[in-house]
Amino acid sequence: MISPINWIGNLCIYLCLGSSLFGIATAYSSSRSEKEVQLKRARMAVYVNFFAMTTATLAMMFALLTNDFSVSYVANVGARETPRFFAAISLWSSLEGSILLWGWLLSGYATLCIYCYRNDFKQLMPWVIVTLLSLGVFFYLVLAIPANPFQSVYPVPDNGPGPNPLLQNHWLMSLHPPMLYLGYVGMSVPFAFAVASMVTGKLQDTWVDVTRRWTLVAWMFLSIAIILGGWWSYAVLGWGGYWAWDPVENASFMPWLTGTAFLHSIMVQQRRQMLKIWNLVLICTTFLLTLLGTFLTRSGVLDSVHAFTESGIGHYFLVCIGIALIISVGLIVWRAPRFKSEGRLDHPLSRETAFLLGNLLFVCFCFVVLLGTLYPLIVEALQGVKVSVGEPFFNQMTGPLALMILFLMGVGVAIPWKRGDPKKLLKLLVWPSLLMVAVTTLSFVLGIKKGFVLVTIALVTLSFSIMIFEMITVFITSGKLFSAKPKRYGGFVAHIGILLIAIGVVFSKNYQLDNQVSLKQGESFQIGNYKIQLEKLYANQEPQRFEIIARTEIFKNEKPLSLLNPKLNFYANNREPIGSPAVYSTITSDIYLTLMAFEHDKFQATFRVMVNPAVSWIWVGGGFIMIGVLISLLWPKIEEKK
Amino acid sequence: MLRALNSKWAGFVLAILVILGGLSVLFFGKLESNIVYFVTPTELLAKGDLAYEKPVRLGGTVKKGSIEWDPQAISLKFLLTDGSKEIPVASHSTPPQMFQDDMGVVVEGKLFRNDSFQADRLMVKHSNEYRPPKEGEKPTLLYKDLLK
């Protein structure tokens, strides 16, 4: 018997396909005839999509929670013994489910956007709807044909294999994928506005503000997703790091870089009517990179630790990327003469120049990451040999770029728009520079001898103090802080987040202590100031897994500090155990303990013990970025209401 | 079209070209020294003198009965084979818990003049052919003595 979930799901997908095509047709005709009725119908189609996708997603959630194994997706990722929390989040643990989530989020974003501007942008909206619904058609097609989660399975199995063990090993997996998709999918709204403005040839100032806001929201989610992804990697994979320049990590980082460039250069457009075409290029690039990211992650073309899936879905994505690329390039080339900039650079020493240089750095950064990621593909296609591009390449290439960005982040803030005065600038930089010298010297005296780390400390101090001095001056003169210029000071808070991350990254990369040690019960091991002692090695049976736990106690200068329980988890359908490292986190450093192997007959365990300095600064920095974005997005609204 | 490009734009384009040019020189220089080739023992040994002391990824299977693991010294030795040729591999890192004979592995490191491969990293190749553990391989049975 076919489960009702199967037909509800498929019905919803076909309803989405049909209503999208109807919406595209009516929106197109409304753009020609300017009939309000047609536009209303197109909006209706968007709402229907959202309703249908929500129903389909809820139906899938219901099937996952009730173990309805007649639904193909549940048969692939479900298991009776999986705890309910992990059963629910396994909605995005596999290909079909994540495309479903993607489609749902896309319909949600589209609905929100259409509803917010139901009375605005009369000329743009038909094309925004056409673009968003066309994207929808692509995802609904993928859901209907190559990645259909609602197929019926016969005979119905008694149980399923359960989700990928890596994904059910940590609660962070409940947050990282939805955040990533909110970031990725969110970039479709600015793209839709870009396409609409190019087709109609309209590029008003209100458009600029709208696009900036939507990009900011998507960018915030993308930032959170990248940080949470690093955190998950750190807390689950047991190698003591958070970033490996893995193709899939790069896939999410590239749109972040171009998105960041856009958020800065759009300000130049708002202020000075410059860089209009460049901004359109950045929006389109960012959007295309989100598609490329999904393609790299979901097609399995790159040999990656994250490549969970290998399927024919890659061809669909290649076609979609190709079409989007041709349309973007075509529209930009066609409209470039019309969107000529009215403003021009007045002086080399100006905020515009700083933004422009920053933009170049971000784009170069993205270019380096892109080529490093795709190089193995190119070589394999041309020469038939398998190669990989090592981590040192990325580190050596991006290190100097990152330092230059840090420098611009501070000094750019100090330079005014239009024309800077070198004397004023020097006067402004006196205190921050003195502070920079002092902090760097102090760090050197305290034992930091590595050149790259010292330069980073210097630049971070410079940027940080320029922003803080600026904020204090504003606070003293006006008595207001964020309400004075919410966008600007929200930006500062986000920048402080970036500075914290920079410190966390250079310290943890340069001063990590790493050791492997084998201990019998009762034996101990000294690393830095810390002593690690194995108390007991024992096993524990849970419904969904079998755990081997090494209970260890950490001492600092002979004083007991904490108990840590690194584990190896055996899942019924996986022969490889999945490790759960244990971390004792402080502001200055983390003690990171991974159970690597054990000899059960000798009660002996082999550990990897690491001391990772300043890693928690990275997570805190992520929090600052989020707060900064929220200040610059929400504060003006709060002020208006008062 | 050309006339439309005023001198300012020409300067801008030139600057971008110079930057991109410089970047690509740097880029391909660094790339050259950071590429790691993926080879099998036969391919590596066929390189002759060129095989030594260059970072590579070596892939193959663990030869039956060749694993020597000393947990106290954290020293792992085994023979990596592709069916025709084999290379002794030494590593100072802990093997994964399920590391065993006939398993597909990829090691990253260098081949030295004494014909021994020093591995910095050992990766277990997850077989595409999925097979759940059999009754005798179940951890509950294997490690029963650790259950409280």
CA distance B47 to chain A (A): 14
Q: How confident is the model over A53-68, as pLDDT tens digits?
A: 999 999 999 999 999 9
Q: How confident is the model over A225-242, as pLDDT tens digits?
A: 999 999 999 998 888 889
Provide the chain A residues 116-175 that lie in CB contact (below 8 A) with chain B: 161
DSSP state of B126: P
Q: Are the beta carbons of A202 and A219 closer than 8 angstroms?
A: no
Between chain A and chain B, how many beta carbons pairs sit less than 8 Å apart?
113
Provide the chain A residues 510-529 that lie in CB contact (below 8 A) with chain B: 516-518
- Residue to mutate among A575, A576, A608, with most B CBs inside 10 A, is A575
Mean pLDDT for the stretch of residues B99-127: 83
Q: How confident is the model over A525-577, as pLDDT tens digits?
A: 998 889 999 999 999 998 888 999 999 999 998 899 999 999 999 887 777 78
* Amino acid A315: pLDDT: 82
Greatest mean pLDDT among A73-77, A219-223, A606-610 lies in A219-223
Whether B114 contacts chain A with CB within 8 A? no
Please, which pLDDT band fits residue A641 given cuts at 50, 70 and 90?
A: low
- Residue A158 pLDDT greater than 80, yes or no: yes
Mean pLDDT for the stretch of residues A357-375: 92
Q: Are the beta carbons of A640 and A631 closer than 8 angstroms?
A: no
Q: What is the dihedral of CA A518, A520, A523, A526, to 10 degrees?
A: 10
Q: How confident is the model over A97-152, as pLDDT tens digits?
A: 999 999 999 999 999 999 999 988 888 999 999 999 999 999 999 999 988 999 99
Lowest average pLDDT, out of A304-313, A324-333, A334-343, A556-565, goes to: A304-313
Please, which pLDDT band fits residue B28 given cuts at 50, 70 and 90?
A: confident
Cα(A216)–Cα(A193) distance, rounded to whole angstroms?
Answer: 14
3-state secondary structure of A514: strand
- Residue A483 pLDDT greater than 80, yes or no: no
Q: Which of A536, A500, A523, A528 is nearest to A512 (CA)?
A: A528
Which residues have CB under 8 Å from B21's CB, separation 6+? none
Whether A384 contacts chain B with CB within 8 A? no
Lowest average pLDDT, out of A17-21, A301-305, A344-348, A588-592, goes to: A301-305
- Residue B128 pLDDT greater than 50, yes or no: no
Please, which pLDDT band fits residue B131 given cuts at 50, 70 and 90?
A: low
Is there a contact between A392 and B92 if contact means CB atoms under 8 Å apart? Answer: no
* Amino acid A408: pLDDT: 93
* Amino acid A440: pLDDT: 96
Amino acid residing at B117: F
- Residue B148 pLDDT greater than 80, yes or no: no
- Residue A476 pLDDT greater than 60, yes or no: yes
Q: What is the dihedral of CA A343, A349, A350, A355, to 10 degrees?
A: 90
Q: How confident is the model over B104-115, as pLDDT tens digits?
A: 888 989 999 888
Task: State the average pLDDT for chain A.
Answer: 90
Is there a contact between B126 and A397 if contact means CB atoms under 8 Å apart? Answer: no
Whether B22 contacts chain A with CB within 8 A? no
Instruction: Tokens for A548, please give them.
Output: 């081997």
Beta-bridge partner residues of A575: none
Is there a contact between B34 and A385 if contact means CB atoms under 8 Å apart? Answer: no
Q: A127-161 burial, b if ≥16 CB within 10 A, otherwise e?
A: bbbbbbbbbbbbbbbbbeebbbbbbbbeeeeeebb
Lowest average pLDDT, out of A34-43, A443-452, A524-533, B99-108, goes to: B99-108
pTM comes to: 0.92
Cα(A95)–Cα(A107) distance, rounded to whole angstroms?
Answer: 19
Task: State the average pLDDT for chain B.
Answer: 80
Contacts of A606 in chain B (CB under 8 A): 71, 74, 94
Cα(A495)–Cα(A367) distance, rounded to whole angstroms?
Answer: 23
Q: How confident is the model over B54-86, as pLDDT tens digits?
A: 888 898 889 988 999 888 888 899 999 988 899
Q: How confident is the model over A386-400, as pLDDT tens digits?
A: 888 888 889 988 999
